[in-house]
Amino acid sequence: MSLANKYRPKTFDGMIGQEHITNILKAQMEVRDNIHHNYLLFGPRGTGKTSSARLIAKGLNCLNLQQGNPCNHCANCELINNGTSLDYVEIDAASHTGVDNIREEIIDKALYPPTALKKKIYVIDEVHMLSKGAFNALLKTIEEPKNNVCFIFATTEIHKVPDTIISRCQVFNYRKVPNKAMINHLEKICQAEQLHYQENALEIIANISEGCVRDAVKYVDQVSILGDLNEENVSRFLGVAGETTIKNLLSTIKTGEREKIFSQLDELNQHGIDLGQFAKQAISYIDQHLLEDTDFLLHCSEIFGNVLSTLRRYPYPLIAYKIAINKALEAGKESQSTGGEKPTENKKEEKADPKPEVNVQPTAPTPQPAKATAVEQAPQPTETPLPPQTPAPEEQKLETPTQEKKVGAEASEENFKKLRAIVISKLTKPTVQSNLKDQAIIEQIENDEIQITVITKIAEMLLNNEENRKQIEQILSEELGKAVHLTISFEHKEAYFARKMGL
């Protein structure tokens, strides 16, 4: 048996990284008489959706429930674990997409009472693959189900599920498992299997699994065939680089020596390192060490980000790296050269500006032969032009408060987007601009407090940087006409978009 199946969670307490869901489900299992009849579980792959569906099925039918967890020993739990119960049905929506499949497998059979279990359980995995007709056929059944029937839907793409289905379900958002929790889980498995391991090797596995528990356990299973779980075996078997390799490349990029950078990339390619995965590893490493050298590491994150975007349309990873690095080095040279020229140009302009003023002043008194015309022109500019000039500043003063009131009154999402665009355009650092453009959202303006939600850790670090924060507060203060300060809160990207969708 593979380690992924052997260590699949058998209780809600065995789920890792999803405590915000398992605590609710355990409480619901304790009061099974008032349980909801439809569940929708969504989130990234390998985070426990299908495992949770089976645990819900066992929890609703367990004869000896233990603090909300199924016992896994009673007759009902054994039937579900062995897959021999007629009352527990798992359907793969990818291969049962049509109306006829749904009618035959679910709608017709759901009318009959369960044969052995307390409740009939229908688990539809990858439910977003169902056709529109199949969803419509299923709608009436899940809207008015029998008390002894429960539907559990799982999907990785909730935006493809119709709102009519979502509104009739209890929705649970599964998140990627954090690296720390993942490493602890892998350590327990290694200890139980008596595998020799190094912690840095488990860190590499946790990074490349990207929050997917199934992939992480699968990698441990594969590499353990070679013997010890160390950095060398993990790098060789999975085609990934260690932390020291990433550090060496970053330090070479900092020197700007093109030949050395390209030779290191050639060496990685010859050793069979997956260069696409290496870019993701480098970005993950930068995210963890961003505060050590913020400006340089953000510059490097842009390089690796450009590599990933180029790889989508370019089949040669090594060339994609060299193109991105070459552009970055050339851009650095241009910024240095333009940065050196601008001050001299400004000095020339400053010297050139006073000269015409000096020349204009002597020319003005020279045409004094016509004193009579000057005297004649004196009465013409009567005091009439002066009054419009004096109220002009008053009018300007009156305009600024009205603008402030407009911003305060029209606190709409559209206005917040416009305000954010203004702030981004006025920021001086390109790296800060690119990382805050779509990752920092103005949520609310109340008096002198501006609430900003960030959906990535990089954006959170940038906004917590004192220099960046002061610059943004200054820009906002100028735009709103009053002194303001920022309140920053972090929210996972998936949770933010789910909240915006009203889930």
Per-residue pLDDT of 4-29, as tens digits, reads: 889 999 999 999 999 999 999 999 99
Give the pLDDT band (50/70/90) at residue 344.
Answer: very low
Which H or E run contains 157? none
pLDDT score for 322? 84
CATH number of residue 490's parent domain? 3.30.300.180
Tell me how far apart the alpha carbons of residues 152 and 127 are, in angstroms, rounded to a whole number.
10
The pLDDT of 131-149, averaged and rounded, is 86
Query: Are residues 15 and 146 located together in one domain of the fold?
Result: yes
Helices (H), 98-212: 99-102, 132-143, 163-166, 179-192, 199-209
* Domain end point (choices 330, 355, 387): 330
What b/e sequence results for 195-225 when a residue is b if at least 16 CB atoms lie within 10 Å of its CB, and e otherwise?
bebeeebbbbbbbbbbbbbbbbbbbbbbbbe
Q: Is the pLDDT of residue 409 over 80?
A: no
* Amino acid sitting at position 232: E
pLDDT score for 137? 86
Tell me how far apart the alpha carbons of residues 433 and 424 are, in angstroms, rounded to a whole number.
5
Query: Are residues 315 and 417 located together in one domain of the fold?
Result: no
Query: Are residues 33 and 167 located together in one domain of the fold?
Result: yes
Q: What Cα–Cα distance (Å) separates residue 44 from each residue in 114, 355, 380, 460?
A: 32, 67, 79, 23
3-state secondary structure 443-467: EEEECCEEEEEECCHHHHHHHHCHH
Q: Residues of the chain with pLDDT > 90: what percent?
A: 26
pLDDT score for 384? 45
Q: Is the pLDDT of residue 396 over 60?
A: no
Query: Are residues 18 and 133 located together in one domain of the fold?
Result: yes
* Domain end point (choices 173, 199, 217): 173
Query: Are residues 38 and 107 located together in one domain of the fold?
Result: yes
Max mean pLDDT range (101-110, 313-322, 477-486): 477-486
Q: Whole-model pTM above 0.85? A: no
pLDDT score for 421? 86
Q: Tell whether 345 is covered by a domain.
A: no
Q: Tell whether 339 is covered by a domain.
A: no
Q: Is the pLDDT of residue 439 over 50?
A: yes
Domain limits for position 147: 8-173
Q: Is the pLDDT of residue 398 over 60?
A: no
The pLDDT of 34-39, averaged and rounded, is 84
Q: Tell whether 369 is covered by a domain.
A: no
Q: Reduced to 3 states, what is the DSSP secondary structure of residue 431?
A: helix
Contacts of 4 (CB under 8 A, 6+ apart): 214, 217, 218, 221
Give the pLDDT band (50/70/90) at residue 411.
Answer: low
Nearest to 206 by CA among 240, 250, 172: 240
Nearest to 53 by CA among 95, 92, 7, 90: 90
Q: Is the pLDDT of residue 350 over 50?
A: no
The pLDDT of 222-244, averaged and rounded, is 83
Q: What Cα–Cα distance (Å) separates residue 212 from each residue in 197, 218, 491?
A: 20, 10, 20
Q: Is the pLDDT of residue 364 over 70?
A: no
Residues in the chain: 503
Q: Tell whether 394 is covered by a domain.
A: no
Q: Tell whether 358 is covered by a domain.
A: no
Query: Are residues 218 and 286 located together in one domain of the fold?
Result: yes
Q: What Cα–Cα distance (Å) separates residue 197 from each residue in 216, 284, 404?
A: 14, 22, 61
Query: Are residues 431 and 491 located together in one domain of the fold?
Result: yes
Query: Are residues 183 and 294 located together in one domain of the fold?
Result: yes
Q: Is the pLDDT of residue 408 over 90?
A: no
What b/e sequence results for 160-194 when a residue is b if at least 16 CB atoms lie within 10 Å of its CB, and e otherwise?
ebeeebbebbebbbbbbbebebbbebbeebbeeee
- In this structure, of 55-64, 96-105, 407-416, the range with the lowest mean pLDDT score is 407-416
Query: Are residues 197 and 164 located together in one domain of the fold?
Result: no
Q: Tell whether 363 is covered by a domain.
A: no
Q: What Cα–Cα distance (Å) separates residue 486 from each residue in 68, 271, 291, 330, 440?
A: 42, 48, 20, 36, 12
Strand pairing report for 149-155 and 120-125:
parallel
- For the chain, the domain total comes to 3
* Per-residue pLDDT tens over the stretch 249-266: 999 888 888 888 888 888
Nearest to 186 by CA among 170, 153, 154, 209: 209
The pLDDT of 96-117, averaged and rounded, is 83
Tell me how far apart the alpha carbons of residues 107 and 95 are, in angstroms, rounded to a whole number.
17
pLDDT score for 22? 93
**Is the distance from CB of 149 to CB of 122 less than 8 angstroms?**
yes
Give the pLDDT band (50/70/90) at residue 432.
Answer: confident
* Domain end point (choices 173, 208, 242): 173
The pLDDT of 213-228, averaged and rounded, is 89
Query: Are residues 169 and 226 located together in one domain of the fold?
Result: no
Q: Is the pLDDT of residue 273 over 50?
A: yes
For the chain, the C-alpha Rg in angstroms (whole number) is 33
- In this structure, of 26-30, 391-395, 427-431, the range with the lowest mean pLDDT score is 391-395
Query: Are residues 100 and 188 located together in one domain of the fold?
Result: no
Q: Tell whether 384 is covered by a domain.
A: no
Q: Tell whether 2 is covered by a domain.
A: no
Q: Reduced to 3 states, what is the DSSP secondary structure of residue 397?
A: helix
The pLDDT of 101-107, averaged and rounded, is 81
**Is the distance from CB of 488 to CB of 454 less than 8 angstroms?**
yes
Q: Residues of the chain with pLDDT > 70: what percent?
A: 83
For the chain, the average pLDDT equals 80
**Is the distance from CB of 458 to CB of 464 less than 8 angstroms?**
no
Which H or E run contains 486? strand 485-490
Contacts of 302 (CB under 8 A, 6+ apart): 328, 431, 434
Number of C-alpha atoms within 13 angstroms, CB side, residue 315?
A: 0
Query: Are residues 164 and 197 located together in one domain of the fold?
Result: no
Q: Is the pLDDT of residue 436 over 80?
A: yes
